[in-house]
Structures are given as structure tokens and as C-alpha cells.
Structure 1
Amino acid sequence: MAFEAGLHPGTTWHKCDFQCHTPRDLHWAGSPGLPGGNEAAELARRQWADSFIAAAEAAKLKAIAVSDHHDICLSTYVLEAAQRRGSAVRVFPAVEITCSDNAQCIVIFDPAMDVETQKLVIGAAGNILAASSSEAKTCAIMPARKTVAEFVQAVQGEHHLRDASVILPHFSKEEDHKSLNAAGHHPRFANLPIDGVYIERPYTSLDAATLEKVRGTIGDWGKRRRAILATGDNRNADWSRLGVHDCWIKLGEHSIEAFRQALLADEARIAFEAPTSPTEYLVELCVKSTLTGPAPVRITFNDGFNAIIGGRGSGKSALLEYLRFGLGRTDKDFGATKVDPEFDREARLISETLAPDGYVEVVLEREGVRETWRRVLANSEVIIVSAAGRTIEVTTKIARERFRGRAFRQKGLSSTMNNPATASEQITGIAAAEEVDRERDIKRAIENGQRSVGTALINLAALWQSRVDLRQTTEKVEDLRQRIAALTKRLEEEGLSPEALKTIEDGPKYGRTNDYIRTVGDQARDAKVELDRLESAALTVELSAYEGAGDFEEAASLQQALSDAKSAIKSSFDAAKAALDVLATKQREAGESFEAKRAAFDIAYAAAVEEQGKHSNLIDEVARLNGERQTAEAAQARARSAELVKANAEKDYEDAVAQLDRLVGERRDILKSAADAVAGKSSNMLKARARRDRRPAQYLAALYKLFEASHTQSVEESCTDWVSRTLAADEVEGWAKLRQQFVGLYEAKIMAGSPPDASDGILSSLQTILFHGARQLTERQRKKIYQNLTDTTIAGIVAAVPDDSIIMSYIDDGRAIDFKMASPGQQASALLELLLKQSAGTLIIDQPEDDLDNRVIMRIVELLRTSKSTRQLIFTTHNANIVVNGDADKIVALKSPEPSSNPNNNSPRIQLDCDGAIETPAVSATITSIMEGGREAFDLRSRKYRFDLQV
């Protein structure tokens, strides 16, 4: 099937059965034979072939071989049926041969091979007389003249068969019928130049010894690894054994070359249980830039291993940089303010080539949901995400959370330690890649927890202030009461009439009563607003928001209970609000009634004052003091109310701090778990451990705030030493004790009334706390630091958290060395091995081989074959081992730029040459040309090494 350049899917999984018989087989049961020779007979054969394809489709098969015993007649009908029906089933013609040493082989042919060429196999076996194509059945099956070894040699020596067929000997358990796995066969099997065998039983039923023989781990049976294919050997019209033994094969083309490539990479391309694929992967990249020309470049990706190849200057790295941009994973997206000069070209690529009408579009799959992400330079702060008819804008940070994965530029793996400011974060991100979702959730919870701690501290400070206010207003009220009492006694001694004296004494009562009535009205209104808020926030869950939940009896029953609870709560709220309405009415009535009484009292009060004119000065002083007392009592009532409102502030603060500490501990546990897994996932090349942050940046930043404008010298150095000594003395509780000292100091300041000048006691305590008293500060410095004790600075201290990380050591000849001391090649190889053993989203790497020698690359190649089943891989590379031996599922080849002396040459820099699987002919030719230097160079190198290419 032809595909537009860039859109070849690469290899895909096919459930297969490569031993299927037809009614021509002598042991076929359930339907009559199918003679040929006339139109009716030919129609019957075609109808049977249609039914065969339908049965294969029903069995979920995608690849089959028609392999009658010593006969090739009906495979052509099945091939035509698949074409006629437009079926996705890939049909391979085949034949089963019984050799003279009582072992069977299946020969699989290229689907394009004509029948006459296929007959050469029967001739190569010797002593086989094939039945006429018009006969209903094959001839009697007698062993061929040649042994398996002789037969393989004959077929591979035939020019027309050698590259267009593959031989699979039968190699089941020792007791199985006509199998090479028998006593005395080991010398012949060991030397057979074949790449696979077939079995007629479930793969899981093979014993360990048989597997070891096939895999080349028992020397007497050869050191060559062979693939295994489980077949059904169906010979019945009920199709009961069609695909009965689970087997899947990964093919990129409908060709014998695809079949051969699958055998050569069986670890990655043959499976015996339903294969799994990543649930998140990139589907397509579309780029329009000045490098692509007027038409965008469009490339689809396989969900396995993708390799982008091309000569120098073909744009491989540029494509990956565009991909990083489309996914929100460039250095700038991660907040890099300074770009390593070595990678400045990649950083400038986006800004210089995407403007003005350029764009990057990425199609990706997330757990079955397909999304299109589009990003342009003019609005690069966001990525436009379209899915299921809905379009939203997300930040690059949200985009990275939405689609997991990691992307490394060229030499990115070997440069993780180059920047000390980001090295720890990078290493932690790589080591904890599989825990990224948990760690991200914990980090977000920590950020929320920090805000909660800050709010709780402010509320705690408000509680302290309300206590100060209550104490001060209480003292003032008592002072005024005593002064008023003294003046009243003096008036009495100077002859003020008892009636006037009582009137003057009653004045404050009226003021207090008026304040009480007004306060009741204010609180009734506030209570109603609060009830409305609480009612709207209570039990907001709705069953309709949980699609399908209502189908379950438990959920339906719970919904009824929820409705009943809502009704009961609404009734209670309605009753409470009705009570408040009654209270408000009573308050208005009381206010109106009392206002009349107060007006009458004001007249009597004025008359009393006028009557006692000679005492007017004292009476005025009493009136003034009564007014102050009324104001002070109102302030006292407000302070008392505030204290009641904030009564839980102390517990809330303790709970918020405990919760924040717990979250920090949980993150530390996640890092420890990730670190513990590093050794096993790096073949013990790395050792890792979770490390407590010894110099938490947030601790230091919070402490720096204390010293602002204090003219204290060497603050950063002193604070760093202070924090280090604090944590060294008590790693677990050191900071908690220090922050509590500051909270206590701040409480003392507030309880002292927050005077602008601190007392000697507070300044002394401050001196003891700062730098553990190791540094003597001037009085001026201490006073400024005292002034800096505010809600904001103390909240910053109590909410500060460490940024614990993972540190790694490289194991060099059994000796652990600091990872940063390992060579770039050692760093890159160890990290790449770790990444390939993780299941943590798409992994994108630009030319991973740059820091690896070929010995290391071959170990990485082995990992590529297994890793690609759990995470999508997208690499650019110049190394043939990575592409070919790593069995890339899809290869995208870019055209190398042609040298030109024309300065006005505006041809696109990025152009697609071809794409497909390794077995795709154009791709195979390009790999040979670009990566091996051509067939001639490959042959010459082979002769220099004394390798025999014909084996």
C-alpha cells in the first residue's frame, strides 16, 4: 500500500497464524474437496477463499499463511479473496515440507512471488510429485529426499528463492510429532542458517530446555538466537484451530522482508499475549516555517520507536526543536533566562524561522482521546488545544502536565551537570520520571499548603492583636470608670441634687443600650449573609455529573439520601433565616421604641445640667468621660467579638503547619521510592538516594527579608551559614524550632502593642535568635530587623519548605563516584539506560549516540527493543546500530541539502525523502546509503573484518 511521504504508519501488530491448511489437504475435515478445472469449480474455490478470509477476520487475525502439505495450489485464491474483499488480513503463500529426517518445515513466500517460482521449493526438496492444480486433494505425503539441513541449503542456494522466502523448521517439545527437537538433531540444528522456528502448541507450554535451545543458550544446539512462531495447524471447516494459539507479529510491509525483519527482532516484534501499547503518544507533527518552504512538513509517528535520519544539515535537530516547542518543552518554556552558548543555535531557531506566519501543530493521543495542539510565535505563551469539538488555551506548564514525556536536545544527556543551578532539578526529574504525576500533585498540594500556612499565621496574628485590643480597651474602660466615679462623688459632695446626679449617672446606660441595639441589627444582617453563603456551599454534589453512576442501586439509593439531607438542611436554613428576620424586626421595633425614650432622657438631661449651672464644668467633664467610656466599651465589645471569631486560630495554625510538614515528608518518600529504583533500572550503573535540601532557597529568601534596609553586611553568607548550622544540628526539627522562635518573637511584639521601638527584652531575644547569637548586631540593625517583623515576613518563614532532591553516583568498576565527576559518555549512557527502562511518556532525544561508544550503543540497542513497547521513542540519529539493530518501528529520512553556489537559493531546508519501516524498500536503501556509506562501503568493511556476508 502506498502512503504519502511522511504518513507511513511504520510497523503495526498483527495477530497471526502461519500454518493454515485448505480442503486440498488429505486430513481436511468438515467440507468436501475443491477440484478445479471448470467455471463452477473455480467459483467454489473462490467462495471457499472468501469464507476463509471471513473466518480469519472473525478470529481477529491480521496475518496468515496458507501452507498445505507439499502443495501451493489454493494460496493464490486466498490472496485474491483478501484483495477482492478489501480485507486488512495480510496473506502469505506458503508450503509445508516433510524432510527425510522426519522433521517438517514451513516455507513462507513473498506475497508477490508467482506460482511457478514457488514450485521451485517443491523441486528443491526432492522426490515430491505435486498433485495437479485441478485435483481435489494433494498427492499422498511421503518424506522428501533431503534432510532439513540439505533442504535449507538448496532453497538458500536458489537465486530466485533466497531473498523471497523464509524457512521455519518445526521445533516443539521433544515428544512432539516431526520436530527437529529430538536426540541427535543438535549438530544439524546448530548449523542451520535460519532465523526462526514454528511450534504447534501454546508458547507458554514450552519447557525451559526447548526455549534455551531455540534462544542459543545451549552451546551444543548453536549460539544463534531464533524466533518462535506459534501456529494453529487448522485442518477443519469449522475453523476451530484457526489462530488457536496466541501469536502476534509486527509488520511494516506486506512482504517477506517484513517477515524476516520480525524474526531478526523477535524480542520486539513477536509476542504471545496481546501486545500493549503506550496510552499516551504523539501521532503527528506539522510544521510551517522558513525552513520548510511555503508548504508545511507533515510527519506521522508510530507509537513505538521512531528514528529520524538524514545527512548533516538535513534538519533533523530542527524538527525535534519544533517538536519541543509544540509540546511546551523548550529551555525558555522551563524558565531559562540564560541559554548555554553551545545550544544558542537551537534557541534562536524558533524565533528566527517561525515568524510571521509559521506554526507548529502536534496531534497526540491521551488515553484514547485525540488532541491537536497548535502553537505560534506571536502568542507563544499559550498552546491552543482542540479535541472533540472543543478548543481551549493552556499554558506551557499545563501542557507539560497534560502530556507526559521528556525531550533532550543534542548532547542533552551529557550536559545535565553543566549548570549547577539546574543540575539537581534535572537529575531529580529523570530519576523520578515515573513518579512525575504523584510528585506534581504533591508539589501543588505543598503550594496550597504554604498559602494555608500563611493565611493561618495572619489569622493567628489577628487573634493576638484582638487579645491586645481587649486587654487595652478593658484597661481603658476601667480607668474611665474610676475617673467618672471620682467626679461623680465630687459633684455629690458639692451639693448636686440627687435627682440631677441620677440623671447624669444614667446617661452612659442609654449610650450602651443604643450600641447594643445597633450591634444586634448589624450581626443579624451579617448572619443572614453567612447563612446564604453556607447554604450555597453545602452538599453541592450532583449525581448527573457522574455519568452512568445512576445505573447502580447503591448510587441511586445514596442520591435519595442526599436529596433528603438537602431538604432537611434547607428547612433548617429557612428556619434560621426566618428567626433572623424575626430578630431584625424586633431589633427595629426596639430601636424605634428606645429612640423615643432616649429623646425624652436627653431633654431631662439637658434640664438637669441647666438647673445645676454652678457645677457645669464638672458636669461637662463627666459627660466627656462618659462619651470616651462609651467609645471604649464599644471597642472592647468588638475586640471580644474578634477574639471569639478567631478562637480556633491557634489550632488552625498548628494544623496547617503539620499538614505542610506532612506533605513535605510525602514528597521526600516519593523521591526515596524513585531513588531506590534507579540501580535496578540502570543495570547498577547508577546508585541514587533522596537527599534533604541542605540549603533550602525558600528558607534563605525568607530570612533575607528580615534584613532589608538594616544595613547588615554579608547577609547572604551569614544566612547560609545560619541555616546550614541549624540543619546540621537537627536535620529533622532544626528549622521547625527556628521558625517557632520567630513566631514567638512576633507574638511578643504584638502582645507588647507593636511599639515602634522594641523593648530591651525583645531586642535581646532577637539577638539570641539571629545567627544563633554568633554575630553581634548593632542596636540600629536590631531595631530595623524588629520593624521588619510583620505578617508577611513571618508568614514567609513559617511557610518556607525545602526542595529535597535525588542525587546519583556513577558506579565505575564497583566504585561509586559523584555523578558530576563521571565523563560525559558515562553520564549519557547511564541516564539513557535509566530512561529506557522507565515507563514515563514519550522520550525524545536528539542524536543520543554523540557521547556513546559503539560498545555502549549495542547495550542501548537491546533496551530499545523492549522499551518501545512501554513508551514511545523519537530519536534523531546518524548511527545505523540504533536504527537497524534497535529495530525502529518507523524511520523518517530527510533529504540532505545539495551544495549550491547560488546565494539566492530559497529551496526548503527540511524536505522528506522517504519514510516507513526498515523493510520498506526505499527506507532500506536510504539507510544503506546514508548510514553505511553505500553497499560497497558495507561490503568492504565486512571483508576487512573477515565476515562472510553470505552466511
Structure 2
Amino acid sequence: MKDVGIPQLLKYMAAGIDCVAVTDHNGAGWVDALQSAYEEMKVNLPEGFRDITVFPGVELTTEDEFHLIVIFAPGTSQKKIEQFITSAGYIGDCGDHSGSGSKSFLQVLNEVITLPEFDCIPIAAHADRDNGLLQTKSESQSPVANDRYLRKIFKTGLLSAIEVVDTEVDKPQSYIQSRLNLSEVVGSDSHGFRGNDKPGSRYTWVKMETPTLASLKLALVDGQEFSIKRFDDPIPFNPYETPDNFIESIQVKDARYMGRGKTPSSLSFSPYSNAIVGGRGTGKSTITHSLRAVSGKQSELDEDTTPYQTYSKFMQVPKSKDDFGALKEDTEVELIYRRLGKRYRLIWSQITNETTVFEEDGGDWKKSQDQEITKDRFPIDLYSQGQIATLVGENKQPLLELIDRSANIDHDELQTAQLKFCAKRSEARSLKQVADQIPALERQLQDIRAKIQKLSQSNHQKILTEYNKFHKQKQQFESKKSETWDLINRLSGFFLHEEIVSTIATPSDFDADIQAFTNSLDTAVGTTKNAIKDSIEELKTSVNDIEAVLISSNWKAKFDQALKQYTDLQNQLQSEGINNLKEYGQLVQSEKELADKLIRAMNAKQQLKEKLKLAKEDLNEIRQQRLKQTERRILFLRKVLSGNNYVKISVRPYGSSAMVMEHAFRDLLSAKTEFASDIYIEGENGRQGVVSSFLNAAKLQNQEDRDRAIFDIQSLLYNVTTGADRQTFSARFRNKLVNMNSQHQDFADSLLYWFPEDGLDVEYSRTGDGKNFTPITQGSAGQRAAAMLAFLLAHSEKPLFIDQPEDDLDNSLIYDLIVSQIKATKSKRQIIMVTHNPNIVVNGDAEMVHALNYNNQCFIKNKGSIQDNEMRETICRIMEGGTTAFNNRYKRLI
């Protein structure tokens, strides 16, 4: 490459290239000028400038006409590269691609590349093309070069990579048999900056913490498995694409053993793979427990387990130096969480024992209006030390809950169906109380109608009608007479108290004329008053006269006759049990009320039928929702474990273990240990009790048979609880169920939708190759942990934080499991592992490692990637087996 300068570098910058290896044919005359040009650009900052790292080198032609790319460290001088070219035996003109050398490809590797003064990386140039080391004859795998010669080259182990233009081209058998699996890189091979040769047209992505020769060496040794990706890889790869959710950092401030003083302990994480290492007592568990506190994951620990007890002891403020507790009064934990591109800051305070949520807004943190911390909002899969072991014990409930969380199996639909069923059954009970009144109402109505019928006979009815008519007329007359006398009394009372005094004036007060007028008024008033008094007396006389006439009238005779007939009839009916003829009206009213009640009761009876029908439909919906839960669990496990060579998990509908089922059923009944023979017992005659019946039902292979058997058991329990069955179970147990139902009216209904939980069959492959799967109960502690770790790594896209998963895990299992699973997973989910095993760190390909230490308090001694030399030394120093792990991974590089 000639005349390289600022314009050419700007083209690579514009193409988004971060590093460029500039390797001219058999020469390095451009090196110093190019580096000077770049230094000038850093000062002047021309438009389009961005940082770029230039790796100088040379594409060397050997005696056997193979091309060898040799890359040197950034900043290597032209003189040093020319010294290498000379040492490699090149005898042609500098920069001449057709020049030749005096040393073979093999000699250059053995005699020059290994010289300590030349720190460089050898790569076979365009190996599948002309002058390429692996070029084959047309339509065959036979190499153009001698096969024995190639084997000698491969045997040196000195090649770091091969440049391959077309990865689909067959390679010689000698290379395949060598099992080198060298990194296959590609470059633009740009000479004219046009067409397919332009910058960025072909490139290789290399994972490096910093672009140095040492980092490049390590990345090439890692190869496609870890650190090398090509632009033409069949599976698209975006190195800058991050998981939707990941933890950016966690900070511990003013804890008992960490974060004291002015500077809190802060750990920043990669979105991909992370490791936290350190010896005992260096703060690894502090990070784990702090994350659990700030992320609200306390409820995921079972109170009966060691992880819960350990966490509880940690989350205390000690009153003395010998007390449990790793907190202080002012301890705070801060978590920065990136969710769907938005940053959140969660701060947990020991003072309030609560977490406050902040959102980033224009570079500032503002308190979020939504303070909820839920599994959906800030998803994290967090497993403390020893917690994995609880997932593979006899109680599969923790594992089942994990599956439900991971598969987003929401129990709300099932609970809603249960609530609807209970509501309708409650309404049905109320309707039944009304409908149950029908027989009594019918009897009462029959009696009343019999009495009314007697009173309604034709002769009786005529007498009652006549009496009621005259009685009503008399009441009207008496009422009018009373009103008249009331008027008379009020008028008489008015004139008795209202006297108008005559006006007697003295001559000095009035003139004679006005006195005459006044006297005239007095006279008029007196005349009127006397006239009114006379009218009142006349009215009194009229009332008395009218009443006297009435007494001797024809109407009075008819009234007296009606009254006598009524009295005679009353005496007659009293002898027949009807005490009061006035009861007729009451009976008629009562008949109407009872008839209305009966209609309502009959309507309630009809509504009861409808309500029970709807409740039955709701119960069927409950069963369907319960079946859906099982189906979703099966589909989820089938999907996430498809092709998994380590673990298989299958679902047994309603098939939880006897221990789990008995515990759940006793919780329903609030019965701790009693009623063993009715609930569950294992004896000489086998198993017996309700749980045994459920276990037998769950074993049925046909779904319809299984569902019918489950329903029969539920119905039996319901009938016993409601008192319909007085034979099944012991009397004590029957009384227990009946009493439960009397205390809780919906208890019997709840028995109709109580289902045993699903069971899980976990199997693992002893060989780790997807064959010979064995029940996990037959495996060692390490094999059980390996199976669970395989599942945890495969099943979700949430950030995964595991504290010391290697406990009871064999090194061979760690290597096989960690390497394959982390590689397959970390591009989709963030992984953070707290560990003291170097194989997890080294072979797990952690992008970020935090090494913890202790000196009066826990602190972060070092952080970075394993490409960093200081970090590698730290790992080798503090982790037993660290050097071996690095040697196994990087072969000769340690």
C-alpha cells in the first residue's frame, strides 16, 4: 500500500473501522509517514475524524511463493519492520508484490517469527486463493502445496490465524486433521479504494478490551468460538447490540465490611458475561445480598432454606461486634438498570428498608412516579449460594415457580375464573335460601285462601258488603258533622275573645266630623257581630235538627238492619274460628303479600338453576385454565431445552410428589399432622387417603380418564363437606370438613377447584452429549447442580446472577457446561457469576471481571477483561488453578 495519508485514513474512519492492519507487499516505507499523519490528524481534528488504531505490518512473499501477513504492535517503526523483512530472507524490491524470498514459509515461522526481537502475529494471507497456504487444486481437497510440508507448518503451532476469502471452500485434509481450527479472518485487501476493495467492504470483528498486539493475539487464539466474527458469517452478528435488559452497575455504600469511607464500592458490568472473583471473606456474598435487597428479590427465598437464613443474618445491623449482620445504620445500595434503552436508578436504604426508583431524564435523575419494583419491570434471575441445590430437591415447587416466572405463566386468568365461580356460587346460596321458602309459602297461602273463601261465600259477602257500605256512609256523616262542630266552636271562640272597643275621643283629640265617622264604624261592626252570632246559633240548630231527622230516617233503619246482620254473622263465624270479621281485609292483604313472595321464590328457583348452570361453566373454565397452565409449561420446556445435551425436564399433570401434595392439601384444611389415615399414610397395606387417590389419578395416561378421576375426588370431598355424604372418611375428618364449611361458606366450593400441582421429571445426561438421560435423583450433587445450571443458562433472557454455581460441580462439568452454555446465551442475556473457580472466569469468556480482596474492609482490587495482563496475573494469584486454566485456554501465551 503506497502513499497512505490523511485522505485514506479518513475513508476508514468514515466506514466505521476501529482498527486497520496496513500490510504492504514486502515493504514498510509508508509506516513512519502514516503514523505522523495520524498524529497530525489528532491535533487538527479534520471533519470526519474518529479514533482509529493502525497495526503496521507486511505481507511477505516466501521462497515457496506463499504470502504471509505479519502484524506488529501499533507504533512499531519502519526500521523494525524492515529488519524483520530482511531477517525473513526477502531479496526483492521493497513494495514489489511479485518479489521473492530466500526462506520458505516454514523457515520464516521457525527461524524468524520466534525471535524475541520481533513481537508479531503471523497470519497466512488469502489462504484459499493464489499464493495461499491452503489453496487446493480445482474441485478437490488436494492442496497445491505438498501435504507433508503443510503438516510440518501446522505442527509448529505458530500460525495465529488464516485469512480466508470464502469460508465455504474445502480445506486440505492435512489442515482438517491437524485440528488447529485457526481463526478465519478477512480484510478489505484494499488497493484502489474502489468497488469491493473500498474500506469496510470486508472486515473482521475482533473482541479486544483495548486495541493492542497482546489483545489481538489472545482474541485470535480464542477464535470464532469467542472473539472473532466475520462480516459474512451466516448468522448475523451485531457486536453493539445489547440485551433489552441488563444491570449497568451496583454500588455498596457504608456497609459493615464494604464501601466505608468517602468512596463507595462500585462494580460496573458488561451487558454480556461478567465474573466476580475473590477469596473467602472478600465481599462476594455482600454483592449478592445487596443485589437481592435493592431488586426486591427477598420473597423468592423459601424461609425454611439455608439461603434464606444466610440472607436474614446478613441483612441486620449488629448491636455488638460479635452479632450477626453486615449492615450499618446508613448502608445504601444503588443499582443502575437499563430497561429497553432507558436507564433507572434504584436506591435501597437500610433506614427505610425500601427501594426508591429514579428515572434518567435529560442526564438528570428524577424520582419515578411509578415506584413499583416487579419481576416484569426490573427482571433479574438471582440465585444465591446453595439456592440452585434447592431446585433439584424432592420439593420441585421452587423449580416449578421458576418455570412459571420464566415462561410468563400468569395465574391471573385462573384466579379470575375461580373468583367468578365463587361469586356465582355465593349468589346461588342466597337464591337457594329464598327458593327454599316455597313449601312454607304455599302452605301459608293455602290456609289464608281457605279463610278468605269462607268469608267470601255469597250470603256472607252480601252482609259484609252492606255493613261496610253503611258503616262507611256513617263514618262520612260523622266526619262531616265533626267538621261542622269544629267550625262552630272556632267561630264561637273567636267572638268570645275578640271584642272591638268603641272609640271615645275628647274634643281636643278629634273634630266633631271625624268623631261621627268613627262612631259609624263602631255601629257597623256591632251590627255585623250580632248578625254572625245569630248565624252561629242558627247553624247549631240546623245541625241538631239534621241529626234528629237522620235518627228517624229510612237510612237509619237500613243501617240498623245491616249492623244487626253483621253482628249475628260475627257471632256465627267466631264459633268457626274466625274471631274478627275485620280480619277479612287483613287476610286479603296477607294473601297478596304471600303471593308476591311466592312469585319471587319461584323466580329465585329459576334463577338458581341458571346460576348453577353458569357456575358449572365457570368451573369448567377453571379446569381449562388449569390445563392451559400445564400445557404452557410443557411447551416452554420443550422450546428452551430443545437440543440441550445436559438436561431434560418433563411435566407430569397433577403429578407433584406425595410430600408436596400432602403439604398443600393440609394447608387448605389448616391441618398440620392430624387425620393421617384420611389425608395420607403409607402402611403395610400401601398408601391410603385423599392424597393417595390424587396420586393414583395423576398416573392415568389418558387425559380424559385423569381429569374424570380428579373430578370424582373433588366431588367426593364436596359431598362430605356439605353433609351429603355421611359414610366416607372417619367421623372426625367429616366433622372437620363440615366445620370448615360452616366457618367459611365457600370452603366446599373451593374443594371443587383444588388441584394438585404438576410434577416435574428432571433427567440429566451423564455424558453431556444428549444421550443416556438418567433421573436426576440418581445423580451426584455435582451432576444435579450441572443439570440445573444448564437449564438456568438456557431458559430466559433476563439478567442472570449466580453466586458460586460451581459448588459440588466437577471441573469437567464446569468446562463443558459453562463454555457451551455461556457462549450460546450471553449475546441474548447478561450473565454475572460470583465464583472462586478459574475455569468459569477463563473459559466462560467474561468481558468484565471484578477481583475482590480484603484489607480492613472488602474492596475491588482490579477490574477489566482477561485480555488485560494485570487482570490475568490477579486471577492466577488469588484463584487456585488460575494459571492452569489460562494455559489450557491460551496454550503458549502465558
TM-score normalised to the size of structure 1?
Answer: 0.69
Q: 1:312 aligns with which of 270, 275, 280?
A: 280
Q: Matches of 1:114 and 1:328 in 2, distance apart? A: 57
Q: Where in structure 2 are there 5+ consecutive unaligned residues?
A: 137-142, 231-235, 317-324, 473-561, 571-578, 682-686, 698-704
> Are 1:364 and 2:337 counterparts?
yes
Q: Matches of 2:210 and 2:564 in 1, distance apart? A: 115
Q: 2:180 aligns with which of 221, 224, 240?
A: 224
Count of residues in Structure 1 that have an aligned counterpart in Structure 2: 737
Q: Which residue of 1 aligns with 2:115?
A: 158
Q: Matches of 1:281 and 1:231 in 2, distance apart? A: 33
Q: 1:300 aligns with which of 268, 275, 293?
A: 268
The secondary structure found in structure 1 opposite 2:832 is: strand
> Are 1:927 and 2:872 counterparts?
no
Q: 1:458 aligns with which of 421, 426, 439?
A: 426
> Are 1:883 and 2:841 counterparts?
yes
Instruction: State whether residues 19 and 211 of structure 2, in contact with CA within 8 Å, keep that contact through their aligned partners in structure 1.
Output: no
Instruction: State whether residues 100 and 143 of structure 1, in contact with CA within 8 Å, keep that contact through their aligned partners in structure 2.
Output: yes
Query: Which letter maps to 2:368?
Result: T
The secondary structure found in structure 2 opposite 1:160 is: coil
The secondary structure found in structure 2 opposite 1:440 is: coil
More helix by share: 1
Q: Matches of 2:14 and 2:470 in 1, distance apart? A: 106
Query: Which letter maps to 1:314?
Result: T
Structure 1 range deviating more: 836-845 or 96-105: 836-845
Q: Matches of 2:880 and 2:736 in 1, distance apart? A: 74
Offset at residue 610 of structure 1 (A) = 12
Per-residue displacement from partner, 1:315-353 (whole Å, max 9, x unpaired)? 1222122123222234xx22533342x774443222233
Q: Matches of 2:372 and 2:377 in 1, distance apart? A: 10
Q: Which residue of 2 aligns with 1:188?
A: 152
Per-residue displacement from partner, 1:879-913 (whole Å, max 9, x unpaired)? 2222223321111112x224xxxxxxxx4x22111
Against the structure 1 CA distance between its residues 495 and 314, is the aligned structure 2 distance closer, same or farther, given a 3 Å change threshold? Answer: same
> Are 1:70 and 2:26 counterparts?
yes
Per-residue displacement from partner, 1:39-76 (whole Å, max 9, x unpaired)? xxxxxx65324xx33x3343333332222222331542
Q: 2:350 aligns with which of 377, 383, 386?
A: 377
Correspondence list, 1:790-809, <5 A: 791-809=745-763
> Are 1:144 and 2:101 counterparts?
yes
Per-residue displacement from partner, 1:110-159 (whole Å, max 9, x unpaired)? 2243443333332232225675xxxxxx4564023222222223443222
Q: Which residue of 1 aligns with 2:626?
A: 664
> Are 1:848 and 2:805 counterparts?
yes
Against the structure 1 CA distance between its residues 344 and 223, is the aligned structure 2 distance closer, same or farther, given a 3 Å change threshold? Answer: same
Query: Which letter maps to 1:883?
Result: V
Correspondence list, 1:779-818, <5 A: 781=735, 784-785=738-739, 788=742, 791-812=745-766, 817-818=774-775
Offset at residue 873 of structure 1 (A) = 1.3
Instruction: State whether residues 451 and 799 of structure 1, in contact with CA within 8 Å, keep that contact through their aligned partners in structure 2.
Output: no
Q: Which residue of 2 aligns with 1:859?
A: 816
Q: Which residue of 2 aligns with 1:107?
A: 70
Correspondence list, 1:926-945, <5 A: 926-931=874-879
The secondary structure found in structure 2 opposite 1:929 is: helix
Offset at residue 260 of structure 1 (A) = 1.4
Q: 1:725 aligns with which of 693, 701, 720?
A: 693
Against the structure 1 CA distance between its residues 625 and 866, is the aligned structure 2 distance closer, same or farther, given a 3 Å change threshold? Answer: same
Q: Matches of 1:283 and 1:786 in 2, distance apart? A: 52
Q: Matches of 1:338 and 1:459 in 2, distance apart? A: 40
Query: Which letter maps to 2:345?
Result: T
The secondary structure found in structure 2 opposite 1:619 is: coil
Correspondence list, 1:13-28, <5 A: 22=1, 24=2
Against the structure 1 CA distance between its residues 500 and 798, is the aligned structure 2 distance closer, same or farther, given a 3 Å change threshold? Answer: farther
Offset at residue 733 of structure 1 (A) = 1.6
Correspondence list, 1:546-557, <5 A: none
Q: Which residue of 2 aligns with 1:737?
A: 712
The secondary structure found in structure 2 opposite 1:401 is: coil
Q: Matches of 2:785 and 2:594 in 1, distance apart? A: 74
Q: Matches of 2:356 and 2:207 in 1, distance apart? A: 35
Q: 1:412 aligns with which of 362, 367, 387?
A: 387
Q: 2:293 aligns with which of 281, 306, 325?
A: 325
Offset at residue 625 of structure 1 (A) = 3.0
Q: Where in structure 1 are there 5+ consecutive unaligned residues?
A: 1-21, 25-33, 35-44, 132-137, 506-607, 750-762, 899-906
Correspondence list, 1:55-454, <5 A: 55-72=11-28, 73-74=30-31, 75-77=34-36, 79-80=38-39, 83-84=42-43, 85=45, 87-128=50-91, 131=94, 138-139=95-96, 141-162=98-119, 165-170=120-125, 172-173=127-128, 176-182=130-136, 183=143, 184-185=146-147, 186-194=150-158, 196-199=160-163, 201-203=165-167, 206-207=168-169, 209=171, 218-219=176-177, 222-238=178-194, 240-241=196-197, 242-245=199-202, 247-266=204-223, 267-272=225-230, 273-275=236-238, 277-288=242-253, 289-290=255-256, 291-294=258-261, 295-330=263-298, 333-334=299-300, 336-340=302-306, 344-351=309-316, 352-380=325-353, 384=357, 386=359, 388=361, 391-392=368-369, 394=371, 398=374, 400-417=375-392, 420=394, 423-429=395-401, 432=403, 436-441=405-410, 443-454=411-422
Against the structure 1 CA distance between its residues 356 and 202, is the aligned structure 2 distance closer, same or farther, given a 3 Å change threshold? Answer: farther
Offset at residue 631 of structure 1 (A) = 3.4
The secondary structure found in structure 1 opposite 2:201 is: coil
Against the structure 1 CA distance between its residues 659 and 700, is the aligned structure 2 distance closer, same or farther, given a 3 Å change threshold? Answer: farther
The secondary structure found in structure 1 opposite 2:409 is: helix
Q: Matches of 1:843 and 1:685 in 2, distance apart? A: 19
Query: Which letter maps to 1:807?
Result: D
Q: Which residue of 1 aligns with 2:731?
A: 777
Q: Matches of 1:783 and 1:610 in 2, distance apart? A: 68
Against the structure 1 CA distance between its residues 468 and 321, is the aligned structure 2 distance closer, same or farther, given a 3 Å change threshold? Answer: same
Per-residue displacement from partner, 1:566-608 (whole Å, max 9, x unpaired)? xxxxxxxxxxxxxxxxxxxxxxxxxxxxxxxxxxxxxxxxxx9
Instruction: State whether residues 95 and 108 of structure 1, in contact with CA within 8 Å, keep that contact through their aligned partners in structure 2.
Output: yes
Instruction: State whether residues 170 and 197 of structure 1, in contact with CA within 8 Å, keep that contact through their aligned partners in structure 2.
Output: no
The secondary structure found in structure 2 opposite 1:794 is: helix
Instruction: State whether residues 431 and 605 of structure 2, in contact with CA within 8 Å, keep that contact through their aligned partners in structure 1.
Output: yes
Q: Matches of 2:399 and 2:471 in 1, distance apart? A: 81
The secondary structure found in structure 2 opposite 1:926 is: helix
Offset at residue 417 of structure 1 (A) = 4.0
Against the structure 1 CA distance between its residues 196 and 486, is the aligned structure 2 distance closer, same or farther, given a 3 Å change threshold? Answer: farther
The secondary structure found in structure 2 opposite 1:919 is: coil
The secondary structure found in structure 2 opposite 1:911 is: strand
TM-score normalised to the size of structure 2?
Answer: 0.73
Offset at residue 665 of structure 1 (A) = 1.2
The secondary structure found in structure 2 opposite 1:849 is: coil
Offset at residue 808 of structure 1 (A) = 0.9
Superposed CA RMSD: 4.1
Structure 1 range deviating more: 111-120 or 91-100: 111-120
Structure 1 range deviating more: 792-801 or 223-232: 792-801
Q: Matches of 2:669 and 2:309 in 1, distance apart? A: 39
Q: 2:858 aligns with which of 910, 921, 930?
A: 910
Q: Which residue of 2 aligns with 1:760?
A: none
Q: 1:767 aligns with which of 714, 720, 726?
A: 726
Relative contact order higher in (CA < 8 Å, ≥ 6 apart): 1
Query: Which letter maps to 1:62?
Result: D
Q: Matches of 1:296 and 1:335 in 2, distance apart? A: 27
Q: Matches of 2:688 and 2:563 in 1, distance apart? A: 71
Against the structure 1 CA distance between its residues 471 and 62, is the aligned structure 2 distance closer, same or farther, given a 3 Å change threshold? Answer: farther
Against the structure 1 CA distance between its residues 83 and 323, is the aligned structure 2 distance closer, same or farther, given a 3 Å change threshold? Answer: farther
> Are 1:496 and 2:425 counterparts?
no
